[in-house]
């Protein structure tokens, strides 16, 4: 079920962390007809514009890596934006793909779809088995709707639309805005700037006790292409690294890699979020996929990318 090298492949969100990694992977695999649109070129919130784009470009395959994303603070303070924009973008892309007769579509969700206190590691069948984590339930509800949309279009129209649920991601082209970003890019920036300024301390959010699992974007990209070629079940599938660590351990690791000599201070007025969200990725591992980039190695690569983009 390989994708032909000259197939027309649309990567929605091709400038983002995940979309740009999928784009790199497809290029590396020799795919020649990649389609991408910047936000200025195509407003994914505009259903008519998306329909027109699909009709003109007629992609065979679609990767839905376009989404309104952000870390705990952005999710917690902009519930309306996270719910509305994600629902609209995915509705337009998924419904539009059906109308345009797209051969296959991969929708990307998130590990936050699982209930806050679901048994760990998180298995796919934990979906909708309990209440969500409040700091990101708006984003989670949109992503759950996206999964259901793919399943519904498969059942009613026979569309080959699949969904993958990645764990917390990091890597090149991440967002380093300290109010909006996820924890890993935030830590890279905070330790880098503190070291440059000669600060005595770096302040991190929460208690440091929550545990998180991290996957390097290029690993996720390899999984996405692999799934596009080898997976066509209605059941969505987890994509994780396989182990997690505390935010405290993560902060220590980033501190050492960057070489900041000062101390870490914890600001417990900021939310911790969900206590743990380690994915059970055994269904994907059983198909033969494995992550390749270890956390320390990945953080070094992400730090190189940060310095390249924002100056040493």
Catalytic residue IDs: 139
Total residues interacting with ligand GFB, rule: CB under 6 A: 24
The Cβ of residue 230 has, within 10 Å, a number of other Cβ atoms equal to: 12
Asked whether position 71 contacts ligand GFB by CB under 6 A, the answer is yes
Asked whether position 110 contacts ligand GFB by CB under 6 A, the answer is yes
Site for ligand GFB in 25-54 (CB under 6 A): none
The residue nearest ligand GFB at its CB is 71
β-partners of residue 170 are 216
Asked whether position 21 contacts ligand GFB by CB under 6 A, the answer is no
Q: How far is the CB of 166 from ligand GFB (least distance, A)?
A: 8
Asked whether position 136 contacts ligand GFB by CB under 6 A, the answer is yes
Site for ligand GFB in 170-189 (CB under 6 A): 181-183, 186
From candidates 22, 44, 105, 112, binder to ligand GFB by CB under 6 A: 112
Asked whether position 139 contacts ligand GFB by CB under 6 A, the answer is yes
Q: How far is the CB of 112 from ligand GFB (least distance, A)?
A: 3
In the complex with ligand GFB, the residue whose CB is nearer, 10 or 86, is 86
Asked whether position 276 contacts ligand GFB by CB under 6 A, the answer is no
Asked whether position 247 contacts ligand GFB by CB under 6 A, the answer is yes
Instruction: Indicate left, alpha or beta for 198 from its phi (over 0: left) and psi (-120 to 50: alpha).
Output: left
Asked whether position 72 contacts ligand GFB by CB under 6 A, the answer is yes
- Interface with ligand GFB by CB under 6 A: which residues? 71-73, 75, 110, 112, 135-136, 139, 168, 181-183, 186, 204-206, 210, 212, 247, 270-273
């Amino acid at each position: 079920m390989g994708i032909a090298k000259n197939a027309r492949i649309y990567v929605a969100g091709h400038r983002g962390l995940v979309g740009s990694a999928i784009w790199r992977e497809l290029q590396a695999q020799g795919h020649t007809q990649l389609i991408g649109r910047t936000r200025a070129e195509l407003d994914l919130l505009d259903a008519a514009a998306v329909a027109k784009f699909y009709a003109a470009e007629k992609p065979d395959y679609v990767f839905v890596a376009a989404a309104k994303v952000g870390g705990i603070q952005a999710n917690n303070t902009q519930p309306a934006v996270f719910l509305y924009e994600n629902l609209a973008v995915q509705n337009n892309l998924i419904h539009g793909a059906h109308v345009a007769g797209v051969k296959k579509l991969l929708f990307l969700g998130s590990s936050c779809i699982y209930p806050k206190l679901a048994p760990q590691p998180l298995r796919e069948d934990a979906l909708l088995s309990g209440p969500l984590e409040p700091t990101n339930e708006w984003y989670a509800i949109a992503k759950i709707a996206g999964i259901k949309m793919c399943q519904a279009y498969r059942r009613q129209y026979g569309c080959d639309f699949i969904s993958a649920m990645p764990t917390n991601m990091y890597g090149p082209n991440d967002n380093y805005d300290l109010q909006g970003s996820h924890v890993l890019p935030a830590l890279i920036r905070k330790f880098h700037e503190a070291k440059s300024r000669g600060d005595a301390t770096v302040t991190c959010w929460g208690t440091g006790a929550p545990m998180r699992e991290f996957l390097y974007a290029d690993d996720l990209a390899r999984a996405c292409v692999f799934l596009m070629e080898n997976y066509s079940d209605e059941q969505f599938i987890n994509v994780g690294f396989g182990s997690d660590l505390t935010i405290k351990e993560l902060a220590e690791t980033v501190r050492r890699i960057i070489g900041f000599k000062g101390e870490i201070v914890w600001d417990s007025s900021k939310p911790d979020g969900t206590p743990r969200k380690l994915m059970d990725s055994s269904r994907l591992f059983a198909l033969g996929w494995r992550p390749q980039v270890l956390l320390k190695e990945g953080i070094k690569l992400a730090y190189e990318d940060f310095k390249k983009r924002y100056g040493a």
